[in-house]
Amino acid sequence: MTDPASGRHTLPSPGNFIRAVIEEDLRTGKYADRRWSGEPGTAERHRDALPDPAAIRTRFPPEPNGYLHIGHAKSICLNFGLARDYGGRCHLRFDDTNPEKEEQEYVDSIVDAVRWLGFEWRDEQEDNLYYASDYFDQFYRMAEWLVEAGHAYVDSQTAEQMREMRGTLTEPGRDSPFRDRSPQENLRLLREMRDGRHAEGTQVLRAKIDMRSANMNLRDPALYRIRFATHHRTGDRWCIYPMYDYAHPIEDAIENVTHSICTLEFEDHRPLYDWLLERLAEGGFFTRPLPQQIEFARLNLTYTITSKRKLQQLVELGLVDGWDDPRMPTLVGLRRRGYTPEAIQLFAERTGVSKANSWIDMGALEQALRDDLEGKASRAIAVLDPLKLVVTNWPADRTEPCEAPVHPQRPELGRRRFPFARELWIEREDFAEQPPKGFFRLFPGNRVRLRYGYVVECTGFEKDADGRVVEVRAEVLEDSKSGTPGADAYKVKGNLHWVAAQAAVDAEVRLYDRLFDQPHPDAGGRDYREALNDASRRVVRAKLEPSLAGTPPEARYQFERHGYFVADRFDTKPGTPVFNRVVTLKDSWGGGR
Ligand code: ATP
Ligand code: MG
């Protein structure tokens, strides 16, 4: 979160009102008497079953209409994390009640993403992977009951008439002329709807609540609409589909969910959630206590966008290289970028849950990654912008082995070895023909240490016809080798990294940065394309230390002085690594605003 006074980002403590609700419910034994037959179902199915072995049940209910992003990760970590911490179970439920936009491709990618994040819905006793579309028959049976009980009616107004009659925030709505149809007539019409005897948009099943309610969601909300659309799982079996507000509470109730956690936009829908489940409990479909909906503020992250629709546009317009472009906030993108599941979990934990919408700075996500990788990532040397350094007093056929720790704080990981030789690669920015003030690196007459190697003194350089430095020359001080007696007698300020030319591994390195260079790319309806960061991807040919030749896909390193890098999981081939920059060592964006 950004503190407006200092402009610095601060992290709210993870102390958490949702935990407080759960702990209170556990203390009072509110849900202790629930029974669970082993699979979702109505009261009848659970009645004679054993007590539910799960102390609480939560669920992550994605609609399979796109790839998951960092906002979904927040919800996954929250729901699965609560179930884990309180002896509960978390269900992965595909909320696939909307036939037009859903596809198997998305289902598969969501399954992969949740597992990759480190969560599991299956154990020895239960496999809690569900599809809302498996409940279509039950949704429909309950709709018939609501009609019979006088709680729902079929409205034959046009969409426009209904909109007009709905009223506004300041004006009450008016009753539909079809509101007083008899249950028998409503039932006949509902069945005709189901049987495909009415055209799309001509009939809608609505709850009969209160057209004058101050809460617009209670003004006879639609429960079912007609759609002649093929569903990715149920095919053409149905031509009526339930609305989200109807389906969701029922899905929760038949899965024995105790705490149904959703984002703040649904706060005004909670009275409808409760109304519906109360009616269905009266009808004997469910037993009390019923699931409770709890809202929290969605994750808003600066320097990115998390609207599925806009992410899709980025892909379709070719502004990124697909859903798994390493700059995308999708989980497939973050994974390819080199994010670890642990870093994302840490981020979700640190940002806590809140009742008020706010922005989290991208820097907080990046910092969680650094904190996770700092202790894990092996160190290595990569020269990203190579400039040749020739050690003129070193024979061409001589090499000298040098070594360095794999990890400075973890000696148990051992040491890496690489040769020193006459021709080396150093970073172009580590040499200056005329040193600016305070420049301690290489320039004519100056001495620096080549890290883990020798001290050298710069004796000259060579330029090409365009005036570009193409080679630097130096002389080695033979008795200065790191780790040998007397080496410390040389006091130099510069400490450069380098790779011996003959042993270097050539590799493509992709220097990724934030996709947008403005903190709120799509704020206020702005065209986010104007906020794209032109420097979000730069590709270089780098020289790597020899130990990196056999890097497997997804191995992560800290390249000394440069940041964290990962071997691209798709483009890395045996002997030919391709690296992505995950994140620099320090935040160069200066916190978010
Ligand atoms: P859509 O606009 O397609 O509904 P959605 O982001 O709400 O997009 P869902 O598949 O419905 O996508 O979301 C699944 C779950 O993830 C929901 O419970 C939702 O509340 C949660 N979720 C989505 N975005 C965020 C976010 N930014 N922060 C926290 N939770 C989120
Ligand atoms: Mg949604």
Q: Taking 50 as the threshold, does the pLDDT of residue 13 lie above it?
A: no
**Given strand 89-94, what is the order of strands in its sheet?**
57-60, 89-94, 129-131
β partners of residue 450: 496
* Residue pointed to by tokens 């309610």: 213
Q: What is the mean pLDDT of residues 353-371?
A: 95
Tell me if 299 CB under 6 Å of ligand 1. Answer: yes
For the question of residue 573 being annotated catalytic, the response is no
Residue 469 near residue 508, CB atoms below 8 Å: no
Q: Establish whether residue 202 lines the binding site of ligand 1, counting it when its CB lies within 6 angstroms of any ligand atom.
A: no
**Helix, strand, coil share of the chain (percent; to 5):** 30, 25, 45
Region 334-343: mean pLDDT is: 98
- Of the candidates 101, 191, 225, 298, the residue annotated as catalytic is 298
Cβ of 64 less than 6 Å from ligand 1 = no
Please state the rounded mean pLDDT for residues 360-375: 97
Question: Is the CB of 259 inside a 6 Å radius of any atom of ligand 1?
Answer: no
pLDDT category, 358, cuts 50, 70, 90? Answer: confident
- Average pLDDT for 381-386: 98
- pLDDT band at residue 146 using 50, 70 and 90 as cut-offs: very high
Model pLDDT, residue 271: 98
Residue with the nearest Cα to atom 25 of ligand 1? 71
State mean pLDDT over 6-29: 74
The pLDDT, as a whole number, for residue 100 is: 79
Mean pLDDT of 148-161: 97
Checking if the pLDDT of 127 tops 70, the result is yes
Give residue-wise pLDDT tens across range 429-443.
Answer: 999 999 999 999 999
Catalytic annotation present for 543: no
Active-site residue (options: 39, 63, 342, 349)? 63
Instruction: Classify residue 69 by its DSSP letter.
Output: B
Please work out whether the CB of residue 262 comes within 6 Å of at least one atom of ligand 1.
yes
Q: Smallest Cα–Cα separation from 393: which of 348, 458, 449, 321?
A: 458
Atom 27 of ligand 1 has which residue's CA nearest to it? 71
**Cα 256 from Cα 252, distance rounded (Å):** 6
Q: Tell me which H or E stretch contains 448.
A: strand 447-450
Average pLDDT over residues 569-582: 96
- What torsion do the CA atoms of 108, 110, 114, 115 make, to the nearest 10 degrees? 10
Average per-residue pLDDT in the chain? 95
**Residue 63 among the catalytic residues:** yes
Rounded Cα distance between 232 and 476, Å, is: 69
Looking at 13-17, 444-448, 522-526, which range is the least confident one? 13-17
pLDDT bracket for residue 501 (50, 70, 90): very high
Token pair of 32, please?
């202790």
Binding site membership of 354 for ligand 1 (Cβ less than 6 Å): no
Query: Which residues lie below 8 Å from residue 527, measured CB to CB, with a gap of 6+?
Result: none
The predicted pLDDT at position 8 comes to 44
Q: Give the span between the Cα atoms of 69 and 586, in whole angstroms.
A: 24
From the number of C-beta atoms within 10 Å of its C-beta (0-12, 13-18, 19+), residue 535 rates as exposed
Rounded Cα gap, residues 29 and 209, in angstroms:
32
Nearest CA to ligand 1 atom 10: 62
The pLDDT value given to residue 3: 44
Taking each helix axis from N to C end, the angle separating 362-376 and 341-351, rounded to the nearest 10 degrees, works out to 130
- pLDDT value at 15 more than 80: no
SS (H, E, C) 84-137: HHCCCEEEEEECCCCHHHCCHHHHHHHHHHHHHCCCCCECCCCECEEEHHHHHH
181 φ, ψ (degrees, to nearest 5): -55, 150
Q: What is the pLDDT of residue 591?
A: 58
pLDDT for residue 6: 42
Share of the chain above pLDDT 70, in %: 97
Is 71's C-beta closer than 6 angstroms to any atom of ligand 1? yes
pLDDT band at 10 (very low <50, low <70, confident <90, very high): very low
| Mutation test residue for ligand 1: of 263, 331, 522, the one with most atoms within 8 Å of CB | 263
Burial zone of 354 (CB within 10 Å; 0-12 exposed, 13-18 middle, 19+ buried): middle
pLDDT at 571: 97
Q: Whose CA is nearest to atom 18 of ligand 1?
A: 262
Residues 6 or more apart from 165 whose CB is under 8 A from it? 157, 173, 174, 175, 176, 211
What is the atom index within ligand 1 of the atom nearest the CA of 68?
A: 10
- Please provide the DSSP assignment of 202-252 as one string: T-EEEE-S-TT-SSGGGSS-EEEEE----BTTTBTS-SEEE-HHHHHHHHH
